[in-house]
Amino acid sequence: MEETWASGALELLKHADSHIKLESAFDSRIAFISIDNSVETSIRTFLSLPQKKSGIKIPRKEIDEAGNSFPHMVEILFKYVPEKLFGLDDGDIEHYHRIRNQLYHNGTGLAVDERYLLAYRQIASVLLNNLFGISISHKSNESSLENLVLLYNEIESLLIQRFEENGIDTAHTYKWEAALENKILTLDDINSLTNLRMIRNEQVHSTIENIDREKVALGVELANKLINVLKL
Label residue 223 by pLDDT band (50, 70, 90).
very high
Rounded distance, CA 190 to CA 24, Å?
A: 42
- pLDDT of the residue at 84: 84
pLDDT above 90: residue 2: no
**Amino acid (one-letter) located at 210:** N
User: pLDDT tens, 80-111?
Assistant: 888 888 888 888 888 888 888 777 666 555 66
pLDDT above 70: residue 39: yes
Q: HSE on the CB side for 76, CA within 13 Å?
A: 25
Find the DSSP H helices in the chain.
Answer: 7-20, 25-48, 51-54, 60-66, 70-80, 90-106, 114-132, 145-165, 176-181, 187-204, 213-230
- pLDDT of the residue at 191: 94
pLDDT above 80: residue 58: yes
CB 32 within 8 A of CB 114: no
- Average pLDDT (220-232) is 91
- Average pLDDT (39-46) is 92
For 95, residues 6+ apart whose C-beta sits below 8 A from its C-beta are 204, 205
Rounded distance, CA 34 to CA 37, Å?
A: 5
- pLDDT of the residue at 140: 63
- Average pLDDT (205-215) is 77
* Maximal CA-CA distance, the chain: 56
Rounded distance, CA 222 to CA 217, Å?
A: 9
CB 218 within 8 A of CB 148: no
Residues above pLDDT 90, as percent of the chain? 22
User: pLDDT tens, 161-207?
Assistant: 888 888 887 765 677 888 898 889 999 999 999 999 999 888 887 76
Rounded distance, CA 231 to CA 57, Å?
A: 33
pLDDT above 70: residue 74: yes
Rounded distance, CA 222 to CA 216, Å?
A: 10
Q: Which residue has the higher pLDDT, 1 or 15?
A: 15
User: pLDDT tens, 124-164?
Assistant: 998 998 898 887 766 666 788 888 888 998 898 898 888 88
